[in-house]
Structure 1
Amino acid sequence: MRMDTNIESGNDLYTDLNGLQMIRRRRHLDKLPLQAHFYPMPSAAYIEDASTRFSLHGNQPLGVSSLEPGQLEVMLDRRLNQHDNRGLDQGVLDNHRTLSRFRLLVEPLAPSESKNPAEERLGFHSIVGLAQSMELHYPHIRMVSSAKPSDDTASGMTSSLPCDIHVVSFRTLAGPTNYNGDRTASPKNEAAFILHRSLTDCRSKLKLKSDCDRQGNSISPKTLFPSIRSVQEASLTLLYEGKESSKVTMQPQDITSVKLSW
């Protein structure tokens, strides 16, 4: 799939590193074979110039390249006709049809404060690009029930999280396993709340339609969940527990775990 634009991107494009940040890729020598110019695209890629960014968000990992200025090309599939000398032992000719989902985002950019933005090795999504990526990878799950649930079976958050904070995991903790007879473990009135805060590029002139707040570096779990009894700092896997705290402070690119108790 090839997209041609009038963006003066030169020999550069940006691809993401496991969804955490974008890294600049550069096409160096035209005499290199075609496969030398393709790079992994776990979730997104973009090209840009001083005034416009053209982003491609994908729901699946693929290979991407920019073979010409202003061009973005994605390899949707490939076939190997011979042994690859890496243990395959044969060609792969029985490819199956698969569904690929993408989103295109075109953003006008404000002037950069960097002295030489073209030489920046790392890039980041704008807040709008981050929201598009999250919606693509974490769609809403619709659950249908044959019976009407009671009002006290579940309760959600009383307010929204900041736009740049993503809930990595929110899981109930289990008690010690009982090895007498059948192995069983009972749930505890505790949960692991794991959050990731992304760093965003502020040059985009597009604005989010939602009114979520991005101000400040801290959130209060007791405000989100009024019924919780305590908030305790913990290591990422909750193997080590720290002191109790009423707020969770996060800097951009932080991943933080806290233990919530009811």
Structure 2
Amino acid sequence: MPFSSSRRGTSWSSSILPSSNPHKSKAPRKGRKRALVKDFIFSNFFAIGLVLSLSLFLLILLRFGVPVDVTTKALYDKIEFLDVDGGAWKQGWSVTYRGNEWDSEKLKVFVVPHSHNDPGWKLTVDEYYDRQSRHILDTIVQTLSKDSRRKFIWEEMSYLERWWRDASDEMKESFINLVKNGQLEIVGGGWVMNDEANSHYFAIIEQIAEGNMWLNDTIGFVPKNSWAIDPFGYSSTMAYLLRRMGFDNMLIQRTHYELKKELAWHKNLEYIWRQSWDAEETTDIFVHMMPFYSYDIPHTCGPEPAICCQFDFARMSGFAYEQCPWGQYPVETTQENVQERALKLLDQYKKKSTLYRTNTLLVPLGDDFRYINVEEAEAQFRNYQMLFDYINSNPNRRLVRDDGRGLGQGVMDNRVMNVVFHLTMEANVSATSNLVPTPFPYSPSLLSHRVGSHLNYPIHAFVSKKPQDMSMKPPPRSFSPLATPLPCDLHIVNFKVPKPLKFLQQPPEGPRFGLILHRRHWDSSYCRKGRSQCTNLADNTVNLFSMFKELTVSKAKATSLNLLHEDPEVMGFSEQFGDLAKEGNVAISPMEIQAYRLELRPQPQ
């Protein structure tokens, strides 16, 4: 309804100003005041409501930050965890569809063959590699090379690097060609598919960077999509780290089944994950959550595992895998049964797609250590190709064909790695009067103590000394390159030195040293006497060009946490971030972790 600033032809101002009427009103004074207030409220109802709404919005914004659609806390407060039996989909409900959901836009189904290879589980890494993983990678190269329509994804670099050392030049060339033409995509690309519940972010950054850099140096590919189907629980920190490494998308699987059910019911299984402290929306990353119990084939094609298991063709007789436990088994697809089989599979795809908001559906096709030989791989590819050919030949049930993009762009193992993990920590020895050589850091900060006490990595101290202390010989195995102490809430996460040219096909270009910093934003005020003579080191500026002594920083570039991207937008930052780094200025917001590539040279004596 329209709102007016006047009432009965008289402006609201005339109703509250003294009247020029010489006749006194017979109404009581209190009644006149109430009437005046009432007139004012009614005549300005819209303006008052707008002011109150804006005030409430600002209050909520100040109290809770940027409003979002869903928060994890709100979800867990809402879910009752009743464990209701959902029928065929035990942890869900009986999924149905009307049939006209895809009239305006056809359903797009991306079936993604994969093989999950644990770097150590029931067997050792060496045993898994010798018995299974090396044969799986051989099979991928051989079977994908036969048909350009075939696709596959691979995640663990620990096995791929081992296979690369053993593979012939012909196999290596075929592998690279499959990656380049989009048939084979590396997802995640970390050394392992790391745990997210107990792993420290230092180790997560290091193992992903190691895998990504090996992949880039060896094959010339940098992953943009993360694939984490087996970590037991997921951390918001992992989403943040992936975004700052330049990843665009992430897939997750093992979340609580009641959480999956709640998100699926509201079609929220795909979402943008944003850090709770991020007011500028720079940490956003797209997430696809798989809806069902597991990542095996019975629990990925649709909500009814007894039917989906019939389309795991490696469970047909003659293969070593266990038969479907539901008593219905897969059979070879033929011209006689292709219609019945295709419609049954398509029914599962349609039911699964109703759990998402878009007409694009992702269907993984694999399990632990699958595609171990050519016979198994051919059984899957052969049968699915016949099913898809039938579905795509029928215009009433047409699935849009794969456009060739694949998935977007087209636990340390038990052997010695080519990288030694070190925790680098800052310490200040200038306040210590009696310096005695010791293998341990002097006066470690609270940060160093807290972090170091929880990690079993060798400790290398970053020590800052006053000029008068330089005559003393540094403690054995210490590293003291800092010219001045860092602000106490600024933590050196890692300082990577150039690695040997073991895998590189050509000499590297540009700055090669990597420095990763983290701003904790603790209350870092320090008072010398009680609450007097206080200083705050958290706001102190740091410049990379003057950070080291006896070392000259000739170049400084901001980079992603995996040290592979220099475009700020790829990491979610503005262009200003890159400009500040070029000038050597370290400008890190609270909670942020940032990486820099440096070119270091010894200062002339």
Larger RCO: Structure 1 or Structure 2 (Cα < 8 Å, ≥ 6 residues apart)? 1
Asked whether the two chains share a fold, i.e. TM above 0.5, the reply is: no
TM range (shorter): 0.3 to 0.5
| Higher percent of residues as strand | 1
| Higher percent of residues as helix | 2
Query: Which structure would you say has the larger Rg?
Result: 2
